[in-house]
């Protein structure tokens, strides 16, 4: 995580916005002049007409465009100070999105990429110097261009959103961007120079372009096996693939002009995609090196398959694609070759690769067979007891969540009572927190197992005592009827203890409530108070149970915590689950936080992989289940062990840097998205 940004950082953003307000009208003036110049030199009537339309539209809409653009930029600048994690950014184009696009949308993407490339080339002279100095102001130790909130992409993206917001037609947008790209880059370059001088004047030194070893999470870092630097110059194969080619492959056999695409052309494009996809996977260090090596040995079989089925990688139901997904997902469970179960997994993978490379049986028929065999092997590697324990854990967690949700409704019932507001704050907090859980559990138990005995149910008794409990807390009333007070206190206390025992709630956690209750009862014996003064005091005290929702937090009984292997990082280490096969951390956790893709629990998706820091060691876990209302989560390790956490527990671990996102998407998905992004970049350079 970067250090705190320097005060000059926000000053720089404000100055950038002010400079932008000055040069945007100048750029629009320059764009108008350039459109006129192009019109005068237009080679034909069609081109001249298009330029006249673009010029006329700019005259009509320049003010709304400038207003929307500056507004969008101001929003970006406002959010920039809180967006300093420097996390790996999602690609701007995903393969799934490309498959759903029409030809016009693809061409628009290509045009935007070309404009961004032109603007970047015109602005890059001063952008790099400015970014180095701004990175220091942001608190980064090394240059982080992707975290620069004033980078070219931000200006181009906000300009496009402004043009769409004022309904500028697509052909006109394209003309404006084509004609004005270079001058936009020049305006940005001049702004970068002025901002760099401002930072230099404030004594800000440029950050260095250090070579930093990236953590093994959410990143493609190097191509060890083939010796290719993925961040270096493009290989000849990388440069061949364009967005048009990839789109043609995904959607059909006609090119953008309606001409039939030859079978050989289709096969060639498919081979490029498969090669690039496997190259990206080979460089993904979240997978252990022996796994990546075996996957590269699978590449010839995948290339052969692409000849007969060129689109197999885009079909999630294709056995070959499912096999790749299965292997890479299962491989994420291991952080060391010494972990239990890895050697068996690698042996099965090696056998699969050898089977796919064996001559003879038709290749396409082998993938489903090998996928089934791998799945059976993986299922057999998890002890049956762990599978059954996971099923019981999910059932228990569902009950716990149901109890919590019902407790919230019970708490509302308590708040609606006319005698509730007159009780002291600790009593109100107890009732809407712990006691609501007691009543909720009793109601659920009775709904599942109706009692055959006569008499009041537990749930009814736990609610009925509230009349006496709340009355005994009103000093003015209780002090005037001491005989009743003496009579009601023993059964009230006995019922409270019985209820707390029913949910295994520790007495020490409600000591403050009982001390308050005893103090109120003692005061009722010793003093006489008017109803008016007592009511005034109660009315003047805020209802902390409403102001502090954490008082009604989810609670697990001891047995439930054991059944679900409940993890609570607020407990002493000795009480935590005894996880096996954890590996010592290889580097200081604080050094890799800037690379973590962390988020709050509300956005976690089932199937995501995490590293959990516990007692200085890492455990690789997968989110295998989330409760229907997202209040409880179940994680599992490669050995089959499960552990559960509350939503707040997950958020707390994230905030304390004890939970790190490793992957929230399939490795294959990310590799294919990177291929689509590469195709887009190639298109922008042509």
- The greatest distance separating any two alpha carbons of the chain, rounded to the nearest whole angstrom, comes to 106
Question: Rounded to the nearest 5 degrees, what angle is found at the Cα of 137, between the Cα atoms of 133 and 140?
Answer: 90
Cα→Cα distances 575→558, 569, 578, Å: 12, 10, 9
Residues 6+ apart with CB under 8 A from 124: 189
Per-residue exposure over 505-535, b if at least 16 CB sit within 10 Å of its own CB, e if not: beeeebeebbebbeebbeebeeeebeeeebe
Tell me which residues of the chain have a pLDDT lower than 70: 1-3, 80-92, 210-239, 253-261, 450-455, 525, 527-553, 568-603, 686
Domain with CATH 2.30.30 in the chain: 563-665
Task: Report how far residue 193's alpha carbon sits from residue 77's, in angstroms, rounded to the nearest whole number.
Answer: 19
Confidence (pLDDT) at 224: 36
Q: What SS3 class is residue 420?
A: coil
pLDDT of residue 528: 52
Q: Across the chain, how many H-helices and E-strands are there?
A: 25, 6
Residue 261 confidence (pLDDT): 59
Q: Give the model's pLDDT for residue 448.
A: 81
Residue 283 near residue 224, CB atoms below 8 Å: yes
Sign of CA dihedral 164, 166, 171, 173: negative
φ, ψ at 259 (rounded to 5°):
-85, 145
What's the pTM?
A: 0.71
Query: Are the beta carbons of 149 and 80 closer than 8 angstroms?
Result: yes
Alpha-carbon gap, residue 198 to 196, rounded angstroms? 5
Domain 563-665 top-level CATH class: mainly beta
Instruction: Decide if 75 contacts 17 (C-beta within 8 A).
Output: no
Q: Using alpha carbons only, give the angle 16, 19, 21 rounded to the nearest 5 degrees.
A: 110
Strands 632-636 and 617-626: antiparallel
- Report pLDDT for 549: 39
By C-alpha distance, which of 169, 157, 168, 165 is closest to 61? 168
**What are the structure tokens assigned to 98, written together?**
């490309």
Whether residue 356 contacts residue 301, with contact meaning beta carbons closer than 8 Å, is answered with yes
């Amino acid at each position: 995580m970067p250090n705190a940004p320097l005060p000059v950082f926000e000053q720089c953003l404000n100055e950038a916005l002010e400079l932008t307000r000055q040069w945007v009208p100048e750029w629009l003036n320059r764009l108008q002049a350039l459109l006129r110049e192009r019109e005068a030199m237009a080679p034909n009537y069609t081109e001249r007409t298009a330029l006249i339309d673009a010029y006329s539209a700019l005259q009509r809409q320049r003010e709304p465009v400038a207003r929307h653009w500056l507004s969008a930029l101001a929003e970006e600048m406002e959010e920039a100070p809180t967006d300093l994690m420097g996390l790996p950014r999602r690609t701007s184009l995903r393969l799934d999105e490309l498959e759903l696009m029409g030809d016009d949308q693809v061409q628009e993407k290509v045009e935007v990429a070309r404009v961004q490339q032109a603007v970047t080339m015109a602005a890059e002279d001063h952008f790099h110097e400015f970014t180095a100095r701004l990175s220091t102001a942001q608190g980064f130790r090394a240059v982080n261009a992707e975290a620069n909130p004033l980078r070219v992409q931000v200006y181009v993206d906000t300009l496009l959103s402004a043009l769409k917001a004022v309904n500028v037609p697509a052909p006109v947008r394209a003309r404006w961007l084509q004609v004005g790209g270079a001058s936009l880059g020049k305006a940005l370059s001049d702004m970068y120079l002025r901002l760099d001088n401002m930072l230099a004047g404030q004594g800000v030194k440029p950050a260095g372009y250090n070579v930093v070893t990236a953590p093994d999470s959410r990143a493609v870092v190097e191509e060890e096996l083939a010796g290719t630097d993925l961040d270096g110059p493009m290989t000849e194969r990388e440069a061949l693939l364009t967005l048009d080619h990839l789109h043609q492959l995904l959607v059909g056999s006609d090119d953008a002009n309606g001409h039939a695409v030859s079978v050989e052309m289709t096969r060639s494009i498919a081979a490029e995609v498969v090669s690039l996809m496997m190259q990206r996977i080979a460089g993904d260090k979240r997978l252990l090196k022996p796994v990546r090596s075996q996957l590269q040995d699978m590449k010839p079989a995948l290339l052969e398959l692409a000849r007969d089925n060129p689109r197999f990688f885009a079909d999630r139901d294709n056995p070959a694609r499912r096999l790749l997904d299965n292997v890479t997902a299962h491989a994420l469970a291991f952080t060391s070759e010494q972990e239990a179960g890895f050697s068996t997994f690698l042996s099965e993978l090696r056998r699969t690769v050898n089977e796919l490379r064996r001559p003879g049986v038709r290749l396409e028929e082998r993938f489903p067979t090998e996928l089934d065999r791998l799945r059976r092997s993986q299922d057999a590697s998890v002890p049956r007891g762990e599978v059954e324990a996971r099923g019981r854990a999910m059932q228990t967690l569902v009950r716990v969540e149901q109890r919590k949700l019902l407790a919230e409704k019970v708490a509302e019932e308590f708040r609606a009572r006319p005698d509730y507001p007159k009780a002291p704050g600790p009593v109100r907090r107890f009732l809407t927190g712990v006691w609501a859980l007691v009543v909720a559990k009793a109601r659920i138990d009775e709904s599942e197992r109706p009692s055959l005995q006569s008499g009041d149910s537990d749930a009814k008794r736990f609610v009925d005592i509230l009349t006496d409990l709340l009355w005994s807390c009103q000093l003015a009333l209780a002090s005037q009827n001491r005989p009743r007070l003496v009579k009601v206190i023993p059964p009230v206390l006995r019922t409270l203890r019985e209820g707390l025992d029913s949910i295994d709630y520790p007495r020490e956690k409600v000591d403050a409530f009982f001390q308050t209750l005893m103090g109120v009862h003692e005061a009722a014996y010793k003093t006489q108070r008017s109803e008016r003064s007592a009511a005034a005091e109660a009315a003047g005290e805020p209802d902390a149970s409403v102001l502090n929702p954490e008082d009604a937090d989810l609670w697990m009984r001891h047995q439930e915590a054991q059944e679900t292997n409940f993890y609570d990082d607020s407990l002493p280490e000795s009480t935590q689950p005894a996880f096996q096969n954890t590996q010592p951390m290889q580097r200081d956790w604080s050094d890799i936080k800037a690379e973590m893709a962390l988020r709050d629990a509300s956005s976690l998706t089932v199937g995501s992989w995490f590293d959990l820091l516990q007692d200085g060691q890492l455990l690789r876990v997968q989110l295998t289940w989330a409760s229907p209302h997202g209040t409880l989560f179940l994680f599992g390790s490669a050995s089959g062990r499960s552990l559960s956490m509350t939503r707040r527990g997950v958020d707390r671990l994230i905030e304390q840097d004890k939970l790190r996102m490793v992957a929230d998407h399939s490795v294959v998905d990310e590799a294919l998205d990177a291929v689509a992004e590469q195709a887009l970049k190639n298109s922008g350079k042509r």
